[in-house]
């Protein structure tokens, strides 16, 4: 294998790159069993890379961690482990790296492992899957579940008859990503290495167009953008409640997601909601929540379905509707327990950007939920309707309705049933009455005299206002 010479800056970037679901460092003193374990874990999950010849952080900082092999032959055990010992063998590529001007630090082996349609085992008959930053063993039913989930080919791997390497390699978004990678790589080499084009015909795959094409919807024979709609209702999304024309956002995945987030926040700023003190303020959500849910929808959607990701903004919630049900063996009960991806190439390559939009599988939804709770909003809900995965972000405060009513009355003389429903998110008029009756029975509220029927209102009792 030819040796690739990289700059000291690129070498430091490799040593300091955080371990993740897609990346790991290994010492040159690692044995074949260590190589088997990481290779099996990556192949059984979403694929990824590891580098052999970099020591743990405890051994130093930056370039001090680079302790490579003196000769390529000293690293032959890596290929032997991948071909001879892993069962079945994994698909891999190895780049031999040295640092320009610091050749005496030795050679590091950068190994790329493809996601596999097979379940792989080490020579010791052990099975692993890659977790957030570690290789986790699985046994018994977990192995069976993995075998059942494997073998289905994603639409992201389909070849496009009218979009080829010659066009894809000139896309500006691809150039942007490549300018941030270490070591530097030419566009054609990168696309072939990442299996984004067919090596024989040069035809591009759907994943390449989704990630880098200026307008993927003009290339892929499916709709693959994001549509943002505003409905002036708390009910169902009916045409008569549509406010203005929906906003369509298209482009390479990273840029499309960022623009859709900007457009969504702009629309939310125009949706005024009642606050506990009686004032009106724009509807707002934790930015991390909106980002994680939208990124999840774009990454894990089914690109074989002829529909856009839908962002629907209501008076009391936001719904994000992603084409395609849950991937593989995933169920709603397993959302925060198991990991599954429909589009491993899109997932993995979006993670290569500096400050990537996507987190490790499972972490994005967990972050979205935690940030809602930190903002004292009710957590998101998840459901599958037909062939769509829907996430609902309710704009309801995380407090008992009684607490919300009493807080409102600290700044306002009275409260009606309608105002109470707007504040608490309760939809039923009778359910809201039950909240008022409970506060009346414990001596906190009383009806405002001479107001009955649809004008009925409640106020704090005299001893509560002192």
pLDDT interval class at 465 (50, 70, 90): low
pLDDT at site 314: 94
pLDDT at site 323: 93
pLDDT interval class at 419 (50, 70, 90): very high
CATH topology of domain 3-148: 3.30.950
pLDDT at site 374: 85
pLDDT interval class at 326 (50, 70, 90): confident
Does residue 227 have a pLDDT over 60?
yes
Residue in the structure block whose two tokens are 């059984």: 44
Domain with CATH 3.30.950.30 in the chain: 3-148
CATH topology of domain 401-465: Arc Repressor Mutant, subunit A (1.10.10)
For 296, residues 6+ apart whose C-beta sits below 8 A from its C-beta are 322, 358, 364, 365, 368, 391
pTM above 0.95?
Answer: no
Closest by Cα among 242, 245, 387, 230 to 312 = 230
Q: How far apart are CA 422 and CA 373, in angstroms?
A: 20
pLDDT at site 285: 93
pLDDT at site 202: 95
Region of residue 163 (left: phi > 0; alpha: psi -120 to 50; beta: else): beta
Region of residue 415 (left: phi > 0; alpha: psi -120 to 50; beta: else): beta
Pairing of strands 226-230, 92-99: unpaired
Q: What is the largest distance, in Å, between two alpha-carbon atoms of the chain?
A: 94
Q: How far apart are CA 141 and CA 315, in angstroms?
A: 45
Q: How far apart are CA 207 and CA 179, in angstroms?
A: 20
Does residue 27 have a pLDDT over 90?
yes
- pLDDT tens-digit series, residues 38-92: 999 999 998 999 999 999 988 888 899 999 999 999 999 999 999 999 999 999 9
Distances (CA, A) of 72 to 53, 69, 95, 441: 12, 7, 11, 82
Q: Provide mean pLDDT across the span 447-462.
A: 90
Q: How far apart are CA 438 and CA 419, in angstroms?
A: 17
Domain with CATH 3.30.565.60 in the chain: 226-394
- pLDDT tens-digit series, residues 174-222: 999 999 998 888 999 999 999 999 999 999 999 999 999 999 999 998 8
Does residue 466 have a pLDDT over 60?
no
pLDDT interval class at 422 (50, 70, 90): confident
pLDDT at site 364: 79
Instruction: Give the lowest-confidence range in 120-129, 311-320, 372-381.
Output: 372-381
User: Please, where are the H alpha helices in 76-168?
Assistant: 76-80, 141-149, 165-168
Phi, psi of 176 (to 5 degrees): -60, -45
Q: Provide mean pLDDT across the span 243-257.
A: 95
Percent of the chain at pLDDT > 70 equals 96
Radius of gyration of the chain (CA): 27
- pLDDT tens-digit series, residues 124-173: 999 999 988 889 999 998 887 777 666 556 789 999 999 999 999 999 99
pLDDT interval class at 404 (50, 70, 90): confident
CATH topology of domain 226-394: Heat Shock Protein 90 (3.30.565)
**CA 35 centroid distance within chain:** 28
Does residue 279 have a pLDDT over 80?
no
- Contact criterion met (CB below 8 Å) for 324 and 300: yes
Region of residue 145 (left: phi > 0; alpha: psi -120 to 50; beta: else): alpha
Domain with CATH 1.10.10.10 in the chain: 401-465
């Amino acid at each position: 294998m030819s040796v690739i010479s990289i700059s000291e800056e690129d070498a430091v970037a490799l040593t300091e790159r955080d371990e993740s679901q897609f990346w790991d460092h290994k010492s040159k003193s690692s044995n074949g069993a260590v190589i088997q374990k990481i290779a099996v874990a990556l192949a059984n999950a979403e694929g990824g890379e590891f580098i052999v010849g970099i020591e743990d952080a405890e051994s130093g900082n930056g370039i001090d961690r680079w302790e490579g092999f003196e000769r390529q032959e000293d690293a032959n055990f890596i290929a032997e482990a991948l071909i001879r010992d892993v069962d079945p063998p994994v698909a891999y590529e190895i780049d031999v790296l040295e640092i320009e001007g610091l050749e005496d630090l030795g050679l590091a082996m950068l190994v790329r492992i493809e996601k596999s349609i097979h379940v792989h085992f080490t020579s010791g008959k052990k099975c692993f899957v890659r977790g957030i930053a570690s290789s986790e063993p699985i046994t018994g039913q977990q192995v069976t579940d993995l075998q059942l989930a494997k073998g289905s080919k994603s639409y992201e791997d389909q070849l496009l008859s009218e979009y080829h390497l010659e066009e894809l390699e000139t896309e500006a978004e691809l150039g942007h990503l490549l300018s941030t990678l270490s070591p530097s790589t030419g566009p054609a080499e990168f696309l072939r290495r990442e299996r984004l084009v067919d090596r024989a015909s040069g035809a591009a795959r759907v994943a390449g167009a989704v990630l880098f094409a200026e307008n993927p919807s003009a290339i892929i024979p499916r709709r693959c953008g994001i549509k943002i709609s505003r409905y002036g209702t708390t009910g169902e999304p009916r045409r008569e409640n549509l406010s203005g024309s929906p906003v369509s956002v298209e482009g390479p995945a990273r840029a499309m997601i960022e623009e859709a987030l900007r457009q969504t926040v702009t629309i939310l700023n125009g949706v005024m909601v009642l606050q506990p003190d009686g004032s009106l303020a724009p509807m707002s959500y934790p930015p991390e929540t909106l980002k994680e849910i939208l990124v999840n929808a774009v990454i894990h959607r089914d690109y074989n379905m002829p529909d856009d990701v839908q962002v629907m903004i209501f008076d009391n919630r936001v719904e994000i509707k992603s084409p395609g049900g849950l991937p593989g063996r995933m169920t709603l009960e397993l959302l925060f327990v198991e990991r599954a991806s429909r589009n491993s190439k899109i997932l993995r390559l979006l993670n290569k950007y500096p400050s990537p939009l996507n987190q490790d599988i499972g972490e994005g939804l967990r972050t979205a939920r935690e940030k809602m709770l930190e903002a004292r909003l009710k957590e998101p809900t998840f459901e599958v309707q037909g062939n769509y995965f829907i996430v609902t972000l309710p704009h309801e405060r995380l407090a008992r309705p009684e607490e919300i009513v009493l807080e409102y009355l600290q700044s306002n003389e009275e409260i009606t049933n309608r105002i109470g429903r707007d504040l608490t998110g309760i939809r039923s008029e009778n359910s809201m009455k039950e909240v008022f009756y409970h506060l009346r029975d414990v001596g906190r509220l009383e009806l405002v005299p001479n107001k009955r029927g649809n004008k009925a209102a409640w106020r704090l009792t005299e001893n509560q206002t002192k």
